[in-house]
Structure 1
Amino acid sequence: MGHLITIATCNLNQWALDFEGNRDRILKSIKIAKERGATLRVGPELEITGYGCLDHFLETDLYLHSWEMYASILQNKETYGILLDIGLPIIHKNVKYNCRVLSYDGKILLIRPKIWLANDGNYREMRFFTPWQRPRYVENFVLPRLIQTITGQESVDFGDAVISTLDTVIGAETCEELFTPNAPHIGMTLDGVEIITNSSGSHHELRKLHTRMNLIREATAKAGGIYLYANQKGCDGDRLYYDGCASIVVNGELVAQGKQFSLEDVEVVSATVDLEDVRSYRSQISRGLQATHTEAYKRVKVPVELSPTSLSFNPKIVPSKPKEIFYHSPEEEIALGPACWLWDYVRRCNGAGFFLPLSGGIDSCATAVIVHSMCRLVAQAAKDGNQQVIADAKRVANVKDEEAETWSPTDPVDFASRIFHTSYMGTKNSSIETRTRAKELSDKIGSYHVDLNMDTLVTAVVSVFEVATGKKPVFKVFGGSQTENLALQNIQARLRMVLAYLFAQLLPWVRGRQTGGLLVLGSANVDECLRGYLTKYDCSSADINPIGGISKTDLKKFIDYARAEFEIPVLKEFLEATPTAELEPITKEYVQSDEADMGMTYEELSVFGRLRKVQKCGPYSMFLKLYHEWTPRLTPRQVAEKVKKFFFFYAINRHKQTVLTPSYHAEQYSPDDNRFDLRPFLINPRFNWASKKIDEIVEQSEKGTTEELEELTVE
């Protein structure tokens, strides 16, 4: 006889410190789960506070407010009749823990602290919390007085235990614990736990979802069981986008999957599963002997049954069928992830929209197309009747009262015309081709576009310098030095930043809006940031940058995808154009080229970036790896020169990475110094000892080649 149980997990768009908003979204998810007949609901990690509070987790106010919000959930009778797994931070014996609190009918059953904390890459959990390094150990936790008053309980169990109902056993693990080699779910499943919950605050990276889903499936494929994965979704107030994809897996097979990208604040994913499938599966695999040797978890007993259909057959309740995992292509991920991130940012900062310096090059083009993708998502959500999106869109677009009753953001071009502003800031070094491309793109996506020349501004600034010093710098093509050439390029770029902020503040006023400014968008890709191929405090300096964590190679693929998907033919011209900053005069003999200026291709930069950050290579080990990969296409000396050149420019430009515009994190080799890539910014650019070792290998290789040729000649 089957034991059918309906269970629910969710994606919630929580926001750091938005206590009441976070609580209301939790309550909405519980209501939806109950309407679907679920008897278990799981939410994201730290859902009461939002995951990304960072150093706010050090403030005691936060813990008080967390309990206050949790108290209002416990008091709400609409939360009765379902077992709840909710995340909040808790102080126990003056130590701060990242916890799951499990409750039923207004009574707390167990507080389960996180055992393994995320403490690398983007995460610094051990800065705020302490891991519970006592597996299977439980002690007494005295509840705050406001909770005692509500529940009638003085204390509850605190530690690594599991919940035992009349019909099954439930265990909880939290985010990072899934990724650890000796994950808690292994011991739990061996001890008879049949349902495992995982509450996460897991961020999006390109191509990362495959890793996560493989781990979720493997969690129950080896030992059997039901796995509920919950995740935060949206921008929590920082560089990360949490990409949802709440899932339910049974015995290694997916039965329910939520969206990875969407503008829904609350998404509940539910499934009906059969507990007998778990028991049958476990009888077929080699786990019995290990299970009998596994140390037992304390079971917190709850006299309720989560699968009431075990008492009587109900033909209307049907088990969920296995399904294929849905993955977006990397091009779709670029179109959707940064777009959702931008939407959360603009609606929550009370901005009037975006301003983008649109140069006619592929990077600012990609940024503009991502904003267009955002407008398309808003339009689709409005068509689907998402009232939160409609209300936010009206507020951002400053729709007047008389228009608000009839207007809805269902047309992405119309919506863009209200909230998206672009400008081509040309000089005498600009080409008619880039100016035309920028205008055509703005017309297609609907941005309010300003076309201007800033030569008088550049000339005025250079004249001030000439008057003050008596010296007039000239470009290299006219006989100037490299120092003069760089200075004249940089002043153009920096003046564009000044103009960008002027226009961002005043364009809404120009268009009749009395309050609200525009967010300035940056458009430097991850490879340029890594190489330092940008001017410090130029138009790459902005409020936020949606492409700062995306490689040039991926951006090109995205633009090719968008050309067809969004029906924007002009994007083909952006793809075919030679990347150029257009900061130097164009002559018959010389046209500035980005890759020529950098001394390396964008494809090579991606390789250097991954080896440096992901594979943790210094100059010497990077050379050794590339020696085998790039020869004989390149000689050992050529490989050495490229590696040395990369590290030289990387080192002398490290200071630029300390002031990078906050960027959407999408790539593992991001050089973002502020959160992700912590390295000194004063480095000897020659890497003398490593260079000597590289030179030794090159000499040995060349000597070996010469000797081989001599032997062949003699023979």
Structure 2
Amino acid sequence: MSSIKIAGATVNQTPLDWSGNLNRITCAIEEAKKQGAEILCLPELAITGYGSEDLFLSYWFPKKALAQLELLLPHCEGITVAVGLPIRIQDKVYNCVAVIENAVVKGFVAKQFMAIDGVHYEFRWFTPWKANEVVEIEFQDQMVPLGDLTFQHKEIHYGFEICEDAWRGKLRPGYRLCDRKVDLIFNPSASHFAMGKTALRKELIEESSATFDCYYCYANLLGNEAGRMIFDGEILLAKSGKLLSRNKLLSFEDFQVKSFYLEPKTQDIAFINSKNEEFVQASSLALFDYMRKSRSTGFVLSLSGGADSSSIAILVAEMVKRGIGELGLEGFCKKAGIKNLPTSQHPEKELMKQILTTAYQGTKNSSDDTFSSAETLAESIGATFYHWEIDEEVKSYTAKIEKAIGRKLTWEQDDITLQNIQARTRSPIIWMLANINNALLLSTSNRSEGDVGYATMDGDTSGSISPIAAVDKFFILNWLSWAEKNLDRPGLAKVNSLQPTAELRPLERTQTDEKDLMPYAVIVEIEKLAIRDRRSPMDVYLILSEELKLEPDTLKDYIKKFFRLWSRNQWKRERLAPSFHLDEFNVDPKTWYRFPILSGGFAEELAQLEQL
């Protein structure tokens, strides 16, 4: 067996990009052949892309996927290739892997368990296959087996668990494969990225190889495939409880191939990065894929000088830096669709000037500190920087309303109105800049603000994509301090010296975010229990009263405020721009946490807290 070489491959696919998807697969196959691999495993649904959503329900889409499979066959001469695609049988669609041996399809393995938690919604599209069941379907005028199959290659007996199949404990197909005495299990996956998840995946693969006493090979999709989910492109090999090989994750390349001889010795194991590093890796790749797949020329950002917008500016800068580092200057520009290649001695900054346009939109309530912070940061990364005042526009809107209602607006009576009009007034002009540049407008909302609605609809929530909406503000603040030192971003020094504030009230009112809400560190703890773990207000109080050093009445007030604001602001979360899934959970109602727009607002549950 030691003379046999196998490989896993990752590909960065896009729904409906039929020719591009096929080309990336064929390139991966050719690379696997060059590396001398005899069996290559590609990811789940690699032919169509995992994120094809309701396209899977149509009759024509799975049929087109089979036609693409036929086009793939000539490229599989002299190698065995496993590749994922959907297959429709009458009114049901199955998530399958086609096993091609020397240009002939030997069979289709069907997925037995559907992912239905968090960002996954597979039961909407696919029907789970029954264990031990095999049928035949017609393909190229031949009857081909489909179902719960295993295969033989020389002296290797191998089978498959498809992504979710491996996460089902004692029910998983691996136990039956072990009973059939397989030597090797492949796991073609579309496993979404979340910070810290690769450590869990490593544990699963090692335990699987030990439990089933076999080689276990895992291959995941790569990149921001369809807008929200990011795939890290992880390829793993383990044997008898020991990890033998792992590739470098979150590549800017179209594909990666990792090959290994089947022999139980350590080969090449890439380092598992910290959560801070994973965040910037995943976000920079996601931004790059979103920009190029949407055929945009770059990004526009309303740069306030505060933490949220500054973190996004750094992520774009890291996108350029890391993309050039991996693809080379010419390769990066070609893939990004940038025609004017930099000619200066500082190509990264020259590219940043093209790709990221920023604007500081001040009012009489803005401070010199935030302007200086924004200007310094933009200059340090090379972004185009504009600045203007919006007081005239705010005054115009305010005067019209005052005339209509017959009274003056005051901060004592109209606080929220006067704050919101400033944030909303910034939106039309920054959208103009995005339209002029054919660029994506970056929204600056974070998850903590999404929790409690501390954002202005059609103001700071305006945008084409919201890069940090799935991470909490406490994480962002700590990440910025880390980034200043570890990413060598001295332009963040002023940002990190400022107290987070919306700067929408007069300066003498000393507005800060945490004064308006509660400490961001507390919001994080409440949302983990209330949203991630789905705990009741009483459960949240009882748990946090043991964990946080807060006065009981203060903690109760924070919890009541969180739940009241959460229920009241679901309509805002419904309207947030698409965001990347980056953490273990998020509050996007389209992909993770559904909540009624109208509700009783936990009235009875919160009243119980008063009785303690």
TM range (shorter): over 0.9
Comparing 215-224 and 407-416, the one that deviates more: 407-416
Q: State the 1:165 CA deviation.
A: 3.1
Q: Which residue of 1 aligns with 2:91?
A: 94
Q: State the 1:409 CA deviation.
A: 11
C-alpha change, 1:269 and 1:408, in structure 2 (3 Å) is farther
CA contact 1:137–1:160 (8 Å) conserved in 2: yes
Match of 1:689 among 595, 598, 604: 604
Residue 116 of structure 1 pairs with residue 151 of structure 2? no
2:169 partner SS = coil
1:55 partner SS = helix
The Cα offsets for residues 535-573 of structure 1, whole Å up to 9 and x where unpaired, read as: 122122210011111112221232122212332223122
Residue 435 of structure 1 pairs with residue 434 of structure 2? no
Match of 2:476 among 539, 555, 565: 555
Q: Which residue of 1 aligns with 2:579?
A: 663
Match of 1:141 among 125, 137, 141: 137
For 1:125 and 1:409, the matched residues in 2 are separated by: 49
Structure 1 unmatched runs, 5+: 149-153, 278-319, 509-516, 699-715
For 1:469 and 1:607, the matched residues in 2 are separated by: 43
Q: Amino acid of the residue matched to residue 36 of structure 1?
A: Q
Q: State the 1:398 CA deviation.
A: 4.1
Q: Amino acid of the residue matched to residue 338 of structure 1?
A: S
CA contact 1:203–1:240 (8 Å) conserved in 2: yes
Q: Amino acid of the residue matched to residue 494 of structure 2?
A: E
Q: Which residue of 1 aligns with 2:512?
A: 593
Q: Which residue of 1 aligns with 2:335?
A: 392
The Cα offsets for residues 566-618 of structure 1, whole Å up to 9 and x where unpaired, read as: 3222312212211000001112xx310100001x1111111111101221112
2:221 partner SS = strand
Q: Which residue of 2 aligns with 1:379?
A: 324
Residues 430-509 of structure 1: pairs in structure 2 closer than 5 A: 430-475=366-411, 480-481=412-413, 484-506=414-436, 508=437
Q: State the 1:624 CA deviation.
A: 2.1
Q: Which residue of 1 aligns with 2:185?
A: 196
2:591 partner SS = coil
CA contact 1:233–1:243 (8 Å) conserved in 2: yes
The Cα offsets for residues 413-436 of structure 1, whole Å up to 9 and x where unpaired, read as: 111011110000000000001001
CA contact 2:364–2:391 (8 Å) conserved in 1: yes
Residue 646 of structure 1 pairs with residue 582 of structure 2? no
For 1:347 and 1:259, the matched residues in 2 are separated by: 22
C-alpha change, 1:195 and 1:360, in structure 2 (3 Å) is same
Residue 229 of structure 1 pairs with residue 218 of structure 2? yes
Q: Which residue of 2 aligns with 1:260?
A: 249
CA contact 2:202–2:243 (8 Å) conserved in 1: no
Question: Aligned residue pairs: how many?
Answer: 611
Q: State the 1:452 CA deviation.
A: 0.7
CA contact 1:609–1:669 (8 Å) conserved in 2: no
Residues 65-84 of structure 1: pairs in structure 2 closer than 5 A: 65-74=64-73, 76=74, 78-84=75-81
CA contact 1:264–1:386 (8 Å) conserved in 2: no
Q: Which residue of 1 aligns with 2:537?
A: 619
C-alpha change, 1:3 and 1:518, in structure 2 (3 Å) is closer
For 2:199 and 2:36, the matched residues in 1 are separated by: 30
CA contact 1:254–1:325 (8 Å) conserved in 2: no
For 1:566 and 1:578, the matched residues in 2 are separated by: 22
Q: State the 1:328 CA deviation.
A: 1.1
Residue 247 of structure 1 pairs with residue 230 of structure 2? no
CA contact 1:365–1:574 (8 Å) conserved in 2: yes
CA contact 2:189–2:219 (8 Å) conserved in 1: yes
The Cα offsets for residues 636-671 of structure 1, whole Å up to 9 and x where unpaired, read as: 333222211110111111211110111111123411
1:269 partner SS = strand
1:4 partner SS = coil
Q: Highest CA radius of gyration, 1 or 2?
A: 1
Aligned Cα root-mean-square deviation (Å)? 1.7
C-alpha change, 1:247 and 1:386, in structure 2 (3 Å) is farther
CA contact 1:162–1:169 (8 Å) conserved in 2: yes
Residue 16 of structure 1 pairs with residue 4 of structure 2? no
CA contact 2:252–2:327 (8 Å) conserved in 1: no
Q: State the 1:125 CA deviation.
A: 0.6
Q: Which residue of 2 aligns with 1:158?
A: 146
Comparing 660-669 and 529-538, the one that deviates more: 660-669
Residue 678 of structure 1 pairs with residue 562 of structure 2? no
CA contact 2:358–2:383 (8 Å) conserved in 1: yes
2:250 partner SS = coil
For 2:20 and 2:252, the matched residues in 1 are separated by: 16
Q: Amino acid of the residue matched to residue 43 of structure 1?
A: L
Q: Which residue of 2 aligns with 1:628?
A: 546
Match of 2:302 among 340, 347, 357: 357
For 1:408 and 1:332, the matched residues in 2 are separated by: 29
The Cα offsets for residues 523-544 of structure 1, whole Å up to 9 and x where unpaired, read as: 1111111111111221222100
CA contact 2:291–2:297 (8 Å) conserved in 1: yes
For 1:83 and 1:255, the matched residues in 2 are separated by: 22
For 2:568 and 2:372, the matched residues in 1 are separated by: 36
For 1:34 and 1:358, the matched residues in 2 are separated by: 48
Q: Which residue of 1 aligns with 2:315?
A: 370
For 2:302 and 2:468, the matched residues in 1 are separated by: 14
TM-score normalised over the length of structure 1: 0.83
Q: Amino acid of the residue matched to residue 540 of structure 1?
A: T
Structure 2 unmatched runs, 5+: none
Q: Which residue of 2 aligns with 1:607?
A: 525
2:458 partner SS = coil
Q: Amino acid of the residue matched to residue 516 of structure 2?
A: D
For 1:365 and 1:570, the matched residues in 2 are separated by: 10
Structure 1 runs of 4+ off > 4 angstroms? Answer: 322-325, 406-410
CA contact 1:382–1:409 (8 Å) conserved in 2: no
Q: Amino acid of the residue matched to residue 258 of structure 1?
A: N
Q: State the 1:79 CA deviation.
A: 1.6
Residues 222-371 of structure 1: pairs in structure 2 closer than 5 A: 222-274=211-263, 321-322=266-267, 324=269, 326-371=271-316
Q: Which residue of 1 aligns with 2:360?
A: 424
CA contact 1:530–1:670 (8 Å) conserved in 2: no
CA contact 2:333–2:339 (8 Å) conserved in 1: no
Q: Amino acid of the residue matched to residue 540 of structure 2?
A: M
1:570 partner SS = helix
For 1:386 and 1:125, the matched residues in 2 are separated by: 39
2:243 partner SS = strand
Match of 1:177 among 162, 165, 179: 165
For 1:107 and 1:251, the matched residues in 2 are separated by: 32
Q: State the 1:381 CA deviation.
A: 2.7
Q: State the 1:325 CA deviation.
A: 5.5
C-alpha change, 1:82 and 1:382, in structure 2 (3 Å) is closer
Q: State the 1:364 CA deviation.
A: 0.5
TM-score normalised over the length of structure 2: 0.97
For 1:430 and 1:398, the matched residues in 2 are separated by: 38
Match of 1:637 among 553, 559, 567: 553
For 2:528 and 2:300, the matched residues in 1 are separated by: 32
Q: State the 1:137 CA deviation.
A: 1.6
The Cα offsets for residues 43-74 of structure 1, whole Å up to 9 and x where unpaired, read as: 01100000000111112221121111110111
2:135 partner SS = strand
CA contact 2:451–2:565 (8 Å) conserved in 1: no
